[in-house]
Structure 1
Amino acid sequence: MRRRYRHIEDFMLHPTEVQSQLLSKLLSKASSTEWGSKYQFSKLKTYNDFRSSVPLQNYESLQAHIDRIRQGEQNVLWPTEIKWFAKSSGTTSAKSKFLPVSQEAIEENHFKGGRDLLSFFCNNVDETKMFSGYSLRLGGSTTFNSTNHETYYGDLSAVLIENLPFWVEMRSTPNQAIALMDEWETKIEKIVDSTIKQNVTSFFGVPSWMLVLCRRVLEKTGAENLLEVWPNLELYAHGGVSFTPYRKQFEELIPKPDFKYLETYNASEGFFAIQDSFDADGMLLMLNNGIFYEFIPMNEYKGLESRAIPIWEVEKDVNYAMVITTNAGLWRYVIGDTVKFTSIAPYRIAITGRTKLFINAFGEELIIDNAEKAVQEACLKTDAEVREFTAAPFYMAGSDSGAHEWIIEFSRRPKSLEDFETILDDSLRALNSDYEAKRHKNMALKAPIVHEAKQELFHHWLKQKGKLGGQHKVPRLANDRDLIEELLELNR
């Protein structure tokens, strides 16, 4: 792992050359695909050729092509066989997205990113015994494609677990049969039972679910903290949601001054970035792991009509929408995340949010379209009218699950506010598969908390902020509590 660091230093020192060579390699490999023929990849010699010839894409624009691949067609977007799809939360037109995962993406992006993470850890820790124990992984499940039993889909973590090499599987826990179970309550119990007697030295997983597991370990064992169960814990590699609200809870669960945390940026579309040192400001963008990066300044963002720039033109502290071209056939794909560069020598990024309003405090990836449709459905079924609303994450005290907290101003009150809350929750489950998973038996997310706003509450807030007028709107979703705390205070 320490020797591996020399390969990482190469792209840190020569980012432009590494990214340019990678783009040429991707275009050459896919030149005979349907997509490559359409956009004449074989004639594209420079980045400017690529940018001017290939339009920006999103899931909606690629969905028809991806659906064909899921039905068994090949050589559409990528030349090698694609039989795995990472299931992610939906878009405005679908409950779930199914993102192609090629064998190259598994080996050269996701697994390589995992090895790079371990390399960073080993280069920052003089003496480690992590490899003498087990890594506890907390992933999703896979399933057969309902229309074609030669392709499979599941959470990205489950897809990777299915494809792990034997030498990684030997040092991972729980075993694959438990790790891929799809009933979460049973799965958590099985993981606890199978790991509490093992020498677990590291964790990998989303913080909200990892907390559920860790608290169940303490309940089952009667231990005061996790070190009483696993005394050799050294590392928690986390990602998926902001770690800030969870850090204090994990520090209480693992009261060890030299315990290490490393943040990762590992999405269904690819493994993008890793915190390369414990005190680094931001995560190192991995430039040689099969992904070519472009960025759209958010002050110029116009959706798929935007103009993107390559990494060698970015600046620090500018908010960018990220665009990726991958070794799984996502070409100039706008993933919806926004980042800023905390450093450009080397290139380090921090996630700043989404191109659209969202809540993703517990891994639910709730977008504004989901929220607006759910409110509309609740109004329809309770004969209500909503003037304004906003929602934010709510962090329960102690070991309790989180929730979403809503403030809703009605122009016509629902016949039953309780019915409105239930329909809102049910509609969100139907619209968003990640929200539905987190709400399962209240394990990671409880039912929404809904407050009825005083009349003109949102008007008064806008007036207080000097934002009255047609161009100013109350954000309907926020991933922090700043706005909702101000509104709750006004609503007293």
Structure 2
Amino acid sequence: MNQRAPAKIQAKLLRRLLRRASNTEWGQRFEFARIAQESDVVKAYQARVPIHTYDDIQPFVDQVRAGAEDLFWPGGIKHFAVSSGTASKGKVIPLSKDMLQLNRSFAVTLTLQYLMRSRSVKTLLGKHLTLPGTIEGDPNFPSTLIGEVSGLQTLFAPGVFRLFLQALPSSIAFAPDWDTKLRSVVDQTMNQDIRLVAMAPTWALVVFGLLIERYNEVNGTSVRTVGEVWPKLQLYISGGVALSSYRSILEEQIGLPNIDFLEVYGASEGFFSYQTDLSDPAMHLHLNNGVFYEFVPLDELTSENPRRLTIEHVKTGVRYAPILTTCSGLWSYVLGDVIRFTNTSPHKIVVAGRTSEMIDKYGEAVFGEDAREAINKTCDVTDSLVREYHVSAIPPNGTQTPTHEWLLEFSRIPHDCEAFIRSLDFALCDINRHYQTRREAKAFRPPEIVLVPEGTFNAWLKTSKGQIRSQTKVPRMSDQRNIADGILAHAGQDARRICVDEFM
């Protein structure tokens, strides 16, 4: 592809968004019509429209929920997505019909891409199991629907999917009680010919465990894998959290050697990228799906005048915070994620974590991506599988230097937990030079791990979040102690702390 083509696609999209919203209140305030006429529309837009956080737009979102029209997007908006709340408590994101329809096209496109590359239509010959979040009418704002984007998107699913492929009736798909819903999902699908599963890996592990348990209970069998229940399962589509943290566990739990894994990256604000090559974990960034992208280098995000790079100027290997302008009326909005480009022709990305996923209390600057990579490497070396984890800081105490505390829920516990700690420490040193420098200077102790019983993280989620949803997940890192202390409280005396002496 011509290197200028992506930039032209994005500039054309931005001009179209500006013209569409030119008569809205925001359009008049920021002179969208005038910006759209400029020859360098991107430069004019960035000079006039500042970066916005959710706190900046929340009052306007509330007005739109109350029925205001033509505020930041033409007409009114009736659909609102609630974020998972891992970085904030319940951000409510407007979703125009334009965006919902584009997201539908995105889902169709990635399915067709998979079918063409796999050269097989077997996926279409059985049922597809998805796990949409709950949606409901908002009692505070009549005539609007609010819920998770996966649930809202199900309302806009193609007719052929609803009629012929969908494994769940709406009564189960949108059931409000999460635990009851999961058990109903298992009962409904246990004897179906499931060919495709699409859900967050965190909940796939739970559903698959319940499936195996229930199948054995009903049939008096002792099956150990999902493949024994659904032998023709061909494709697992992952989203919501990084697949790399769960793939080994899922492969073992599914037990089918030829199953394909396909990762998708989306959020309440829109759908952004998906794998086009199953052998490459990086995802192809969709540049014409109603989203104009800017990318701020992560270390500049909190500066007064950060660089706002467009698709034309990004580099591989650099952590960026995506800034979105969308056909739902978000204008240069901070998404809160961190991504890295692995290729710029075509543009492929991996998700490196959240902007809040970082511990840097003592200059160690460990990112969520670093933690995930270190865990994966350590599990490979020690023949173990981590199901859930959370990392927090332990402050210095007297003569003791600070360190990190890793709360770990294993699917397969290592034979030697002290060897696990040493391997984890070496992996972090190899990945992160800031961490390595502090370890070599003895300014940082070896990590401590705490083994918690299976189900501890889920129990904490139920207590801390109130209502469990399909997007509910445990934050991976925090430099504050409240999450770690809450998880430890749930584990109680069953938690097992393991430390090692200094060895560097």
Instruction: Give the TM-score normalised by structure 1.
Output: 0.74
* Amino acid corresponding to residue 184 of structure 2 in structure 1: K
Quick one: which amino acid aligns to residue 47 of structure 2? S
Q: 1:255 is matched with which residue?
A: 255
Q: Does 1:296 align with 2:296?
A: yes
- Counterparts in 2 of 1:190 and 1:210: CA distance versus 1, 3 Å: same
| 3-state SS of paired residue (2:350) | strand
Instruction: Please report the RMSD computed on the Cα atoms of aligned residues, expressed in angstroms.
Output: 3.8
Answer yes or no: is 1:205 the counterpart of 2:244. no
Equivalence map 1:17-166=2 (5 Å)? 17-44=8-35, 45=38, 46-90=41-85, 95-108=89-102, 110-166=103-159
1:261 is aligned with what amino acid? F
Determine the C-alpha separation between the residues in 2 that align with 1:427 and 1:114. Answer: 30
Look up the SS of the partner of 1:329 in the other structure: coil
Where does 1:328-347 land on structure 2 (aligned, <5 Å)?
328-347=328-347
Cα contact 1:95–1:430 (8 A) shared by 2:
no
Q: How big is the shift at 1:390? A: 5.3
Counterpart in the other structure of 1:397: 411
Match in the other structure for 2:320: 320
Take 2:128 and 2:21, find their aligned partners in 1: how far apart are those partners? 36
Give the structure 1 partner of residue 177 of structure 2.
183
Pair 176,155 (structure 1): closer, same or farther in 2 beyond 3 Å:
same
Task: Using the TM superposition, give the Cα deviation of residue 388 of structure 1 relative to its aligned residue in structure 2, in angstroms.
Answer: 7.5
Contact 2:387–2:410 at 8 Å: present in 1 too?
no
> Post-superposition shift, 1:208?
0.7
Q: Alpha carbons of 1:107 and 1:293: their partners in 2 closer, same or farther (altered >3 Å)?
A: same
Give, in angstroms, the shift of residue 489 of structure 1.
2.9
Q: Does 1:449 align with 2:463?
A: no
Q: Residue 48 and residue 132 in structure 1: after superposition, are their counterparts in 2 closer, same or farther (change >3 A)?
A: same
Taking a change above 3 Å as real, the CA distance of residues 11 and 149 of structure 1, as seen in their structure-2 partners, is: farther
1:139-175 C-alpha deviation (Å, 9 max, x unpaired): 2101221311211111111111123232221211211
Whole-Å Cα distance in 2 between the matches of residues 294 and 166 of structure 1? 34
Provide the rounded CA distance (Å) in 1 between the counterparts of 2:131 and 2:61: 27
SS in 1 for 2:192: coil
For residues 94 and 122 of structure 2, the distance between their equivalents in structure 1, rounded to whole angstroms, comes to: 36
1:443-482 mapped onto 2 (5 Å cutoff): 448-449=487-488
CA gap 1:84/1:67 in 2 versus in 1, 3 angstroms: same
Query: What is the SS of the residue equivalent to 1:106?
Result: helix
- The unaligned stretches of length 5 or more in structure 2 are 217-222, 359-367, 373-385, 395-400, 414-455, 475-483, 491-495
SS at 1:313's partner residue? coil
Count of equivalent residues: 407
CA contact (8 A) 1:363 1:434 kept: no
**Contact 1:57 1:304 survives alignment (8 Å):** no
Separation in 2, partners of 1:200, 1:11: 41
Change beyond 3 A, Cα 1:388–1:435: farther
Counterpart for residue 215 of structure 2: 221
- For the structure 1 residues 487 and 363, does the alpha-carbon distance in structure 2 shift closer, same or farther, using more than 3 Å as the test? closer
Identity %: 30
Task: Give unpaired runs (5+ residues) of structure 1.
Answer: 1-9, 373-386, 400-420, 440-444, 452-484
Please give the secondary structure, in 2, of the residue aligned with 1:96. coil
Distance 1:142 1:282, change over 3 A: same
Deviations 1:43-98 (A, max 9, x none): 00210000000000111110000011111112111114311111014488x62110
Contact 1:69 1:82 in 2 (8 A): yes
Render the CA deviation track for 1:328-378: whole Å, top value 9, x for unaligned: 11110111111111000000011112222367999999999xx99xxxxxx
- Whole-Å Cα distance in 1 between the matches of residues 231 and 462 of structure 2? 44
| Paired letter, 1:345 | S
Q: Give the Cα separation in 1 of the matches to 2:348 and 2:471.
A: 33
Does the aligned pair in 1 maintain the 2:387–2:411 contact within 8 Å? no
Tell me which residue corresponds to 1:14. Answer: 5
Cα distance between partner residues in 2 of 1:425 and 1:235:
31
Letter paired with 2:138: N
Residue 480 of structure 1: aligned partner: none
Look up the match of 1:3: none
Asked whether the equivalents of residues 340 and 349 of structure 2 are also in contact (C-alpha less than 8 Å), the reply is: yes
**Contact 2:84/2:472 (<8 A) preserved:** no
Is 1:489 aligned with 2:484?
no
